[in-house]
Amino acid sequence: MPESILRDSSERRRVERRTNQIIAELTLPEFRRIALTSLLFTIVLFLFLWMVRTVIIAGILAIIVATYMRPFYKWILRMVHSSTGAALLTILCVAIPLIAIIVYSYIELSGAAGYLSKNEAEIVERIDAALRRLPFFEGKSLTDQIRNGVLAASNYGSKLVGGIKATMAQIAVSTAVFLFTAFYFFTSAHSIAAYIRGKIPPRYGEISNALERNVRGVLYGAIYATLMTQTIKSIVILAMNLAFQVPLALVLAILSFVIGFFPIVGSWSVYVPVALWLGIFRDAWGSALAMLVIGFLGNTLFMSMYIRPKIAAEKSKVLNFYWMFIGLVTGVYTFGLVGVLLGPIVIGLLKATVDTVTAQGSWKLLDADGDTAELVIPK
């Protein structure tokens, strides 16, 4: 009996030391174990991040797509009654249109690059003739400079196929990571969420809830605003291309949708060259001016710089217009294309941390016995 009491008492003290540990009470073996475990964890984490560094963006995008396609996945699940089948059908519904768009764009761009290389002399002559009609270039010949520019564009187009072939291995690996990550999150979302919540100690519940709430809000706002504004801008580009009878109208609209994710350097990379083409090769300077004005005022200034952060801020209910604008712009130039989401997420996490740490309602202090004491701050 006394041995049982001593064993229970020892076990209780061991549990208390593990759950309410004070640094001064650490023994040397416990400190060595903590140091060794931390070092091992750091090494393994570094090796893992180094291993997935080239495909980590594909994994992040897969998690985001799986999260926001989950209602569609549940709708299919109610019909097929199989999580595996529903996940596969959901992925196919997303992948097949994307593959069709990529193949169509590749075929059209390859044809345009071939035309450019075959008609280089004619293109140089027409550009030179158009520039000579301008007031500042009257009587001047820029044939050599124009030929160098056209040759560079032709070489870029001819290298398009080779560049795609050179990165085929990375594209295949990134695609596989994207598909399998999305499939895993479709079929195991509840177990993943339960595992993550189970690893968070209750004492950090307040800040973890704030982080989760802010991340969910800014993600929803950024995705909703980006997709809406990109769709509208691409429709505007497509409408102008069709109205002015521009070749590759649909491909240019798709290209505008993709590169328009960048808030500053975006769809102007499409409508400015198209406007120059209208003026030089069609001698339609009125149409060119209309495309420049509509593109700059409507797409670049109004949609990208104002409407997108405004809608994102309103839908997120976390950040205001200014901080959402900062997150969208700086996130892209720091993290690349995925920075459209990571930028607002970082600022949302910062806001949640600051709000939790500087909360004025009460401070929760942990006393020596592990109980929670509340210190009310008088207002």
Mean pLDDT of the chain: 77
From the CB of residue 128, how many other CB atoms can be counted at a distance below 10 Å?
19
Question: 354, 340 in Cβ contact below 8 A?
Answer: no
Give the model's pLDDT for residue 183.
92
Question: Does the pLDDT of residue 67 top 50, yes or no?
Answer: yes
Range scoring the smallest mean pLDDT among 153-167, 180-194, 304-318: 153-167
pTM of the full predicted structure? 0.68
pLDDT band at residue 248 using 50, 70 and 90 as cut-offs: confident
Q: Percent of the chain having pLDDT more than 90?
A: 11
Give the model's pLDDT for residue 159.
59
More confident residue, 179 or 373: 179
pLDDT band at residue 376 using 50, 70 and 90 as cut-offs: very low
Question: 254, 312 in Cβ contact below 8 A?
Answer: no
Give the model's pLDDT for residue 240.
92
Range scoring the smallest mean pLDDT among 55-59, 210-214, 252-256, 362-366: 362-366
pLDDT by residue (tens digit) across 150-161? 666 566 555 555
Question: Does the pLDDT of residue 295 top 70, yes or no?
Answer: yes
pLDDT band at residue 166 using 50, 70 and 90 as cut-offs: low
Give the model's pLDDT for residue 255.
82
Q: Percent of the chain having pLDDT more than 70?
A: 72
pLDDT band at residue 284 using 50, 70 and 90 as cut-offs: confident
Give the model's pLDDT for residue 128.
67
Task: Name the residue ranges covered by the structural domains of the chain.
Answer: 56-199, 208-372
Torsions phi, psi of 21, nearest 5?
-80, 135
Long-range contacts of 322-326 (CB under 8 A, 24+ apart): 323/347, 323/351, 324/218, 324/221, 324/222, 325/263
pLDDT by residue (tens digit) across 1-42? 555 554 555 555 555 555 555 666 777 788 888 889 999 999
Query: Which residues are paired to 364 by β-bridges?
Result: 374
For residue 69, CA distances in Å to 28, 91, 288 come to 51, 9, 40
Average pLDDT score over residue span 330-339? 76
pLDDT band at residue 373 using 50, 70 and 90 as cut-offs: very low
Question: 346, 327 in Cβ contact below 8 A?
Answer: yes
Give the model's pLDDT for residue 357.
72
